[in-house]
Structure formats: C-alpha cells, structure tokens
Amino acid sequence: MGSNQAPRKLGKGLAGLLNAPAVEVFHVEQSEPGGAQKPPERSESSISLELIDRNPEQPRTEFDVELINQLAASIQRSGVLQPIVVRPSPVAPGRFQIVAGERRYRAAKIAGLVSIPATVRILTDSETAEIALTENLQREDLNPMDRAWGLRKFAERFNLSHGEVADRVGFERPTVANLIRLTELEASVGDYLASGALSAGHGKALLGAPSGSGRETLAKQAVLEGWSVRQTEAAAKRLAQAAGGNTGSEVGGEGMGYASNAARDAVMVDLQRRLGQFLGTKVEIRPYGSAGRGAVVIDYYGLDHFDGLMRKIGFDH
C-alpha cells in the first residue's frame, strides 16, 4: 500500500484560478461606455492584438528570440492552438492585460496576426501575479535570477512569508528561501546565473563568501576556470575565513557548552531551520568569539514583510 499523502504539485491553485468565471468580450474593436451586458459564465473570444498589454507582474525578463520565432512559424502553419488568458485592464478601460501566454502573444505578432484567441477572466492583482509566476516556474528555461526575483517580488508585494509563497506556487519552503537568497548576490554575479554561465548551486555557494568585490572576483574566476559547485563552495569558505567571517567549524565556540565544533554546528543548523520555519524567512545564527556571544540575523524583504515579522515575534512597534 502506498502513502495516503497526495504528492505535492506545482501551483496547486493554478488550475482553479485559470478556471475562474470567464466573461465574453462584446465588440472588442469598439467599446461603448454604459453599454455593458451581463456576461455569460464562460466563453472564448478573438481579441485584437492592439488591445492587449503585457503583464507588469511577468517574472520573465528575457525571452528566447529563436524559440519565439519557431513558435511564430508554427502559428503561421497551424494557428494559435491554445487561447491565451487575459483579464480586463485594471488601468485602461476597453483594454486587456495578459495573465498567461505572453510567448504566444509575441509569436502571434511576429506571425502577422491581427487578433488572437483569448479567454477573459476576472482576476485580482494577487491572482494575476500568482498565475504569471506559477506558469513561468513550470518552464525549465526560466533562469535562476528570474525565478529568484519573481518569488521575492511576489512575497514583498503581497506580504507573504516564504512558507506562504511555497504553498501558492507548489515549491518546498527551503527551495523558495534558497532561491530568494540569490537576490542578495551582486548584479554582476546575478548576470552569470541569468546567462547560464553559473548555476543556482554556484550562486548558493557564493553566498558563503563575504559580499562585495571579493565575491565578484570569485564568481568571475569560477566562470573562467569552469569550477564545480563544490570547488566554488571551498573557495567561498576560504575567502570568508581570510576575511574573518563565520563559516563552518572555524567559528569560535568556546563557552557554549558543546563537546565539539561539529556538535555545535549541528545544533545551530537545526535551530536556524526551526526558527526560519516559524518566522517564514531566512534566519542565520552567527556565534563568534568566546563566552557564548553571537548574533541572530533575520532577513526581511520589504517594510510590510518586516511588520509581519515583528507581529510574529510579538513586538508591537
């Protein structure tokens, strides 16, 4: 007998959001104010491409031109096989905003179409952002930095913890936390991840090095010499040690009551994990010196997120 626990699915709420009540578009070429008709429960329409705007919540910053051109050629041969999803524009009456399907929209323009099959849904800003993010997370060609910034902006805008974001998009909470941490990297280092010169694993390893020019130099060296993730981790640790940073067993643990550095580190890792799960964000415990001194660093990703953390801690500021 297998486990009764259902497997975790990516974007478990996505299907429900995309199946929200649809509205029919009447006279999409000309919309007269005051002439609204009661929309049916569900319909699809062909909407002029000139009336459709991009989604500002689109997490993808770059689109593969070659793949878009291939899709355009397919559309010229067979048409648009799957309607895009749009919603009425929240800022421009009579216009529409893409919710899902921007690649089809771009390819349709290249293919010379003047209109595109579309399903219009009534969705909130939060639902729109969630669909755009989840749809892109399902695609393997989304680079690590677009994933990271997409998750971070989603968390910040809607004041969500890492755990809440994970539930929305179908990721595990540690995966969300690790991806969002990549946004702490310098822009030049992030560019290496975005271009594919370095992997997300390399980025996570580089976070172990002190921030600044030293980390940027380390990343460049990793690219030029083709370092593995393990080689990058080792180099980042050496750089942190040289700078007097706190990595691994090099952190002083005198006076903390542990029989060995390894035992102390295991306890610290567990405490960080549990505290991070409770707060829904990244937490780092940094012991240093002697007599059990240290610091607890709690990450926040916006003022609203900070306020939420203060409430969880029980501090009313």
In order along its 317 residues, the chain shows pLDDT tens digits of 444 434 344 444 444 555 554 444 433 333 333 334 444 434 568 899 999 998 887 777 777 788 889 999 999 998 998 899 999 998 889 999 999 888 899 999 999 999 999 999 998 888 888 888 887 777 767 889 988 998 888 888 888 888 888 888 888 888 899 999 999 999 999 999 999 999 999 999 999 988 888 899 999 999 999 999 999 999 998 888 877 654 433 333 443 444 345 445 566 777 777 788 788 888 888 776 555 677 888 888 878 788 888 888 877 76
CA distance 107 to 54: 13
What's the pLDDT score for residue 289? 59
Q: DSSP E strands: which ranges in the chain? A: 22-23, 45-48, 52-53, 84-88, 96-100, 115-121, 283-287, 294-298
What's the pLDDT score for residue 264? 56
CA distance 78 to 101: 17
- Three-state DSSP class for 121? strand
What's the pLDDT score for residue 305? 81
Ramachandran sector of residue 109 (left: φ over 0; alpha: ψ -120 to 50; beta: rest): alpha
Which residues are catalytic, by number? 102
- 44-123, which class in CATH? alpha beta
Torsion over CA: 68, 74, 78, 81 (sign): negative
Is the CB of residue 309 less than 8 Å from the CB of residue 298? yes
Tokens of 149: 């910034």
Ranges of each domain in the chain: 44-123, 128-243, 264-313
Name the phi and psi angles at 298, rounded to 5. -115, 120
What's the pLDDT score for residue 282? 82
pTM score, two decimals? 0.55
What's the pLDDT score for residue 260? 42
What's the pLDDT score for residue 140? 63
What's the pLDDT score for residue 265? 58
Which of the listed CATH numbers 1.10.3810.10, 3.30.720.200, 1.10.10.2830, 3.65.10.10 matches domain 128-243? 1.10.10.2830
What's the pLDDT score for residue 256? 42
